[in-house]
Amino acid sequence: MSDQNKVNGNSKNEQLEQYRADDKGKKLTTNQGLKVAEDEFSLKAGERGPTLMEDFHFREKMTHFDHERIPERIVHARGFAAHGEFELYESLGEFTKADFLNDTSKKTPTFVRFSTVAGSRGSAETVRDARGFATKFYTEEGNYDLVGNNIPVFFIQDAIKFPDLVHALKPEPHNEMPQAASAHDTFWDFVANNQESAHMVMWAMSDRAIPRSFRMMEGFGVHTFRLVNDEGKAHFVKFHWKPVLGTHSLVWDEAQKISGKDPDFHRRDLWESIENGDYPEYELGLQIIAEEDEFNFDFDILDPTKLWPEEDVPVKLVGKMTLNRNVDNVFAETEQVAFHPGHVVPGIDFSNDPLLQGRLFSYTDTQLSRLGGPNFHELPINRPVCPFHNNQRDGISRQTINRGQVSYHKNSLAANTPSPTPEAEGGYVHYQEKVDGRKIRGRSESFKDHFSQATLFWNSMSEPEKQHLKNAFSFELGKVKSKSVQQQVVDMFANVSLELATAFAEAIDAVPPQGEESSVTKSSPALSQLNTFKSPKTRKVGVIVGSTVSGEVAEILQSLKSSGIQGECISDKLGKRTADDGSELEVMHTFLTATSVIFDAIYVVGGSDGATFKKNALHFVNEAFAHFKPIGGTHEGLQWLKEAELAGEPGVVSGEGKDEFVKYFTEAISVHRHWNRQV
């Protein structure tokens, strides 16, 4: 942690230290510090008598237990988080006076919470859903929260419709089903009758809604914000997080199976990656538009259902965030962290995006409900690293002990302190945008194009991605009971793509749409995941070994590890396997405790353990093959691949030479999926 990251000698990590408790080796006490002599039995009137109200230790312990749970978030309830730090590549003084975006010598502490949107806190993590990507920057000017998603647009244009959206998306109230899923009548009824949702639905039905991991997931600020420099000049901006490992996804069948096999798949991946030192990295990107260019586009830049195509407004990469420390306590940090898009610093301001304007109210309101009152900012995970002073007092869970008699402004008894800070000395001043208009309930005509960017998204997809979209719509609408709703959705998405709407109409026995294809021909290659950066780093390979192992296997795994690939051995029993050269391999999984869907690739070695072993091994191989994953085979495993007629298929690597195998298997793993495979 750099010295620039410290305020009054305390970094964020050092600040949290005073709140950490290590109970190992300590004596048991009450919350008041009283040493406890017995914690097995409550106080009774005789060995078989009633429990006495006098037992203050029992009452304290039980009362605290009864109140351990706080209300979960209405949306984004299922989340996981990590600490990190942000480093700036170059000063952005031309655009903003925000200190953490100007000083390249600083490392700004961050805390990031990833989440699903629709499910409850106990739901699975690989469901089809948008993902939250919320970042808290602990800057020396105060906390700045970039509260975004892994999708750059949203379902609605005005915050007043947010309760309607969530009511429609959540489990239906008459039977509380389905959990963490949008494949039901009320959601699609909302979509069909609120057609501004078309663009977001295309993203939600795409591979973006089933990410491979939090580490391979883009983040977007969604809204249009403003950057303001020292001269008071403003620019419009959209924020991006670009994962260094590239943007990659699961396939739908795989995602469903993982939900049953390991509902904690994404949090486990994040936790283990950080524990292993494979720190997730994301580059911060900015799209910037000069104020005078606000109306130079074929869409309204304030519309939250629209993105700014990167080919029209390039993304400028300005810094990198590294997540390098897991939380010490999920409840105290991940659950109690309170984000708010209104937590800004000088140099960052808002636009008139009507969805953003509503969020500026909603987030404070929900924290009051979840965290019990107005003092949620005093919880350790939410406290800024810089001092804070004001005349706010009292309330539930107040931790600050304010001294003195004055708690108002203006005053003479404390020399009118705490006093405001002029803008020139760092005080926050809102951007002075001229606003002139009548009070109305309405929105600009420029917000009424609901389909052109949805078609842009469709046009930008590769053929495999288009097929995944057709399959996703067919699955989701196949779960809808109302024939009317199904037909409404078919008719709606005919405005996006006749090909798409016809495909899922035929799958659900609806009437195919009539008419012509959309006239929109524009595409944005940046939207296709097939164009993302591909790397073998941190990929996890399941290595199937029997009781007899060649020493060459350990050498192969070591060579793969040098490229950042992690090999984990699978067999019928746990324990060590001694190779023919005396080296040892540790079996971490059995066929019962593991499954192919939790690995990025399968490498089958074999080892003469009988027909059942071979059958289990080929089940792993065939499932991985169906999910378009890389497959490797050497030694006895090579013969098994040939017998299964998989050798020679795209992404299936087999070879007699060790070096040749490592080279081509590494390349196959880098590709991530082999879509040209016949399955």
Measured CA to CA, the distance from residue 505 to residue 498 in angstroms comes to 10
Residues in the chain: 679
| Beta pairing partners, 570 | 544, 589
Q: Looking at residue 3, what is its pLDDT?
A: 44
Domains and CATH numbers, the chain: 12-68 (4.10.91.20), 79-378 (2.40.180.10), 455-529 (1.20.1370.20), 534-671 (3.40.50.880)
Q: Looking at residue 10, what is its pLDDT?
A: 53
> For the whole model, what pTM was predicted?
0.94
For residues 54-71, one letter each, b for 16 or more C-beta atoms within 10 angstroms of the residue's C-beta and e for the rest, the string is: eeebbeebeeeeeeeeee
Q: Which one is catalytic: 143, 149, 375, 495? A: 149
Q: Which one is catalytic: 57, 76, 223, 635? A: 76
Calculate the CA 618 to chain-centre distance: 33
Whether the CB-CB separation of 247 and 265 falls below 8 Å is answered with: no
Token pair listed for 591 = 């066929």
Return the closest-CA partner of residue 156 out of 370, 358, 376. Answer: 358
- Parallel/antiparallel/unpaired status of strands 234-243 and 225-228: antiparallel
Return the closest-CA partner of residue 97 out of 432, 431, 347. Answer: 347
Q: Looking at residue 7, what is its pLDDT?
A: 44
For 531, the 3-state DSSP assignment is: helix
Phi, psi of 349 (to 5 degrees): -140, -175
pLDDT along the chain (679 residues), means of 10: 44 85 86 89 90 90 88 96 98 98 97 98 97 97 97 96 96 96 98 98 98 98 98 97 97 97 97 98 98 97 98 98 98 97 96 94 90 93 92 91 92 92 92 87 93 98 97 98 98 98 98 95 96 93 94 94 97 92 92 97 90 96 98 95 94 88 96 89
Find the angle CA(312)-CA(500)-CA(498) to the nearest 5 degrees.
85
**What is the DSSP code (8-state) at residue 433?**
-
Q: Looking at residue 469, what is its pLDDT?
A: 98
Q: What is the 3-state secondary structure (H, E, C) of 358-419?
A: HHHHHHHHHHHHHCCCCCHHHCCCCCCCCCCCCCCCCCCCCCCCCCCCCCCCCCCCCCCCCC
For 108, the 3-state DSSP assignment is: strand
Let me know if 149 is a catalytic residue: yes
